[in-house]
């Protein structure tokens, strides 16, 4: 994977109708800004109940977006990351509908995870309370078969997302079939969506257990043999993330978004500095994604201290809501249809009170910490909370999933802020020192000073958090240059 800025986007929400249109945008208005693109689910259908994360057919590109040849053309110009949704498929899929019709006589019966597969002798109260789940209640749904019989099916997320038995022969073939399609289309990195929930075992939390790591290892090995790298998407306690990172190709640095907010809100980088001393180096860094801004990644767990004191963390969450004019409250927690109660649904720009200088500082920090940076398409254009879309769907995450048109994009590209942001992205993509040694320069907590060095070249970020003075300097042709 290129050590360059990556774009996270839906194909059809960035002023494009299809994959070819996105390719054109990357080659023109956004030329040289991105070394790769993470395409959020483009499978049939893209407009399911969870914006493509509930595929009816994971091996079919929604024809409104194009086909596999179009994706192969895109992969010829930039790295392409795609989501491998390992935990579930749509209840509307032909496979599950066949199971509902024929029950255990269905050729797909073994593909789906029923309650009795994990608990053949029934479950105790302790068994059920042990199960970790990202939303209230139990991860099961009662389904009525065509013959009138009722079955209890694992549905970790929603009733339309039916959990797969990934170790059944049908489950293995299902995932391998998707990998084959990815390889043929030139996809060179996959994001394992919801992989932490893929293995269920009685008497455990059914989340990131030893057997989950084994499953990820086996799937990663298969992908690597096809020339595909693997990114694991897990929200969890920071020490868990460190352990996960030792066992996989790449992990997200999900602690970074809130640590950057903490740094800027309190003019104090100490918590961030502490994290940078121990954070995984095989990381993909983000400030924003198609999901909310995660809180559990920096919080305490079962009495163990987190990266940020819980009281301070509560204050940060309140500050985010206040900065957004309380619009984020309407999209977070029980206020809307949310899958996760441990995230704040808000654009990052709004979380910072639409302060352009603070937002530039946040992106500069992201680009200078260890890892490969990804920029979400809404964050690319300093997007504001989309209250109209939220009102239309009542899906909390949609507050940060705006549909841009060409006119909006052209207007943003001409703004002074975007021109400076572009300079920062181009520097991150081109300077050789970012492939060298990371140095966190010892300073007082109100100063953040990061320097990358390789041979005789270097690039440095200096932020006085009290005055919010930002300086980015670097070497070029044996001369010291300043970015802005």
Sign of the torsion formed by the C-alpha atoms of 144, 147, 148 and 151: negative
Catalytic option among 12, 83, 193, 386: 193
Count of C-beta atoms within a 10 Å radius of residue 135 = 13
Q: Is 233 a catalytic residue?
A: yes
Beta-bridge partner residues of 438: 452
Closest CA to 401 of 321, 292, 260: 292
Among 416, 481, 475, 407, CA closest to 29 = 407
Among this protein's residues, is 249 annotated catalytic?
no
Q: Return the CA Rg of the chain.
A: 22
Active-site residue identified among 49, 62, 163, 233: 233
> For residues 285 and 180, what is the distance between their CA atoms, to the nearest angstrom?
28
Pair 5, 35: CB distance under 8 Å: yes
What's the half-sphere exposure (Cβ side, CA atoms, 13 Å) at 330? 17
- Residues recognised as catalytic: 193, 233
């Amino acid at each position: 994977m290129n050590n360059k800025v990556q774009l996270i986007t839906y194909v059809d929400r960035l002023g494009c109708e299809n994959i070819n249109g996105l390719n054109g945008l990357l080659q023109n208005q956004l030329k040289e800004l991105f070394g790769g693109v993470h395409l959020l689910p483009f499978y049939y259908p893209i407009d399911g109940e969870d914006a493509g994360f509930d595929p009816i057919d994971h091996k079919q590109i929604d024809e409104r977006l194009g086909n596999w040849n179009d994706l192969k053309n895109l992969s010829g110009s930039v790295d392409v990351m795609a989501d491998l949704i390992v935990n579930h498929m749509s209840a509307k899929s032909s496979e599950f509908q066949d199971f509902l019709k024929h029950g255990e006589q269905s050729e797909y019966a073994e593909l789906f995870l029923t309650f009795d597969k994990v608990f053949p002798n029934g479950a105790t109260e302790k068994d059920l309370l042990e199960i970790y789940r990202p939303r209230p209640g139990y991860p099961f749904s009662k389904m009525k078969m065509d013959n009138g019989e009722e079955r209890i099916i694992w549905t970790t997320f929603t009733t339309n997302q039916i959990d797969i038995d990934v170790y059944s022969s049908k489950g293995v073939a299902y995932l391998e079939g998707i990998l084959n399609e990815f390889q043929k289309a030139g996809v060179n990195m996959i994001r394992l969506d919801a992989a932490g929930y893929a293995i269920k075992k009685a008497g455990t939390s059914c989340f990131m257990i030893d057997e989950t790591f084994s499953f990820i290892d086996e799937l990663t090995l298969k992908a690597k043999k096809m020339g595909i790298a693997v990114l694991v998407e897990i929200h969890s306690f920071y020490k868990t993330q460190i352990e996960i990172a030792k066992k996989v190709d790449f992990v997200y640095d999900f602690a970074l978004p809130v640590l950057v907010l903490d740094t800027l809100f309190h003019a104090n980088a100490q918590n961030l500095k502490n994290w940078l001393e121990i954070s995984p180096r095989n990381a993909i860094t983000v400030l924003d994604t198609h999901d909310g801004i995660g809180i559990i990644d920096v919080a305490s767990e079962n009495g163990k201290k987190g990266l940020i004191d819980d009281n301070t963390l509560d204050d940060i969450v309140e500050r985010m809501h206040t900065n957004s004019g309380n619009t984020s409250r309407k999209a977070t927690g029980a206020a809307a249809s949310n899958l996760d109660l441990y995230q704040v649904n808000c654009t990052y720009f709004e979380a910072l009170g639409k302060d352009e200088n603070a937002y530039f500082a946040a992106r500069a920090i992201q680009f200078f910490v260890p890892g490969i940076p990804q920029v979400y398409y809404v964050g690319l254009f300093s997007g504001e909370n989309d209250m109209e879309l939220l009102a239309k769907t009542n899906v909390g995450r949609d507050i940060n999933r705006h549909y841009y048109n060409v006119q909006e994009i052209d207007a943003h590209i001409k703004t002074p802020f975007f021109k400076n942001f572009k300079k920062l992205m181009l520097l991150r993509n081109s300077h050789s020192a970012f492939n060298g040694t990371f140095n966190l320069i010892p300073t007082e907590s109100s100063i953040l000073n990061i320097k990358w060095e390789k041979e005789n070249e270097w690039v440095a970020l200096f932020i006085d958090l009290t005055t919010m003075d930002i300086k980015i300097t670097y070497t070029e042709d044996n001369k010291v240059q300043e970015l802005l």
